[in-house]
Amino acid sequence: MLRLDKFLCEMNIGSRSQVKTYLKQGFVTVNGKPVTKPETKVDENKDTVAFKGKPCVYRRYVYYMLNKPQGVVSATQDNECATVTELLKDTGYKDLFPVGRLDKDTEGLLLMTNDGELAHDLLSPKKHVKKVYYVELDKPFTHQDAFRLKEGIDIGECKKTLPASVELITENSIYLTITEGKFHQVKRMMNAVGNHVTYLKRISMGSLQLDETLGKGDYRELTEEEIENLKQREL
């Protein structure tokens, strides 16, 4: 059970003060009857709450797939650069945040949600969630380079990276699968084998695959199947 004003706030109808005004104006009904008291209790799973005649289907958590473009930072706010949350401002949800980070010049899959528990699981080092990147390189990538990455490589930290998986596409492009999320990790791994990343795009995270029909900067809600797969830890 939730207070009606809390329910409406979580549905992004407005701020707490705005919601109280809407209630006084008779804009809200519960099971077809006008309700004006903000403290009224509602069962978010059974009661039918409507705002200006439009039913409010309760969803505490929402999940969006964003095809992040270059030039945008993976943050909720930044004093100098555009952020990924600004790209999703039309959703009506103000509490969305990116699950993990992609560098400013990196494109591709970024999960945006307000589900902190799921985000924690996906980012936990103990979970070893697989992340796949499409990488273009300045120099030809060799089988010896691939072997070194599969064995773990020194990128200037206390421990080597965990074993990575490499699929060669062309002599200057690969698919790289890693299970960590260290700062600039892919770029540092390529530098460690004497190469340089010229283009980087994340194409999957766990069970979630980038929808290639999404243009750069576009987003969509996850399907129920995609959400369920993530929550089942099918990673």
- Give the active site residues: 103
Angle between helices 224-231 and 116-123 (to 10 degrees): 60
- In the chain, how long is the greatest CA-to-CA distance? 71
Report how far residue 128's alpha carbon sits from residue 143's, in angstroms, rounded to the nearest whole number.
Answer: 24
* Residue bearing tokens 């129920």: 224
Q: Which run of H or of E encompasses 28? A: strand 28-30
Phi, psi of 82 (to 5 degrees): -65, 145
Report how far residue 38's alpha carbon sits from residue 40's, in angstroms, rounded to the nearest whole number.
Answer: 6
Q: Work out whether the CA dihedral 197, 200, 204, 206 comes out positive or negative.
A: positive
Are β-strands 197-205 and 208-209 bridged in parallel, bridged antiparallel, or unpaired?
Answer: antiparallel
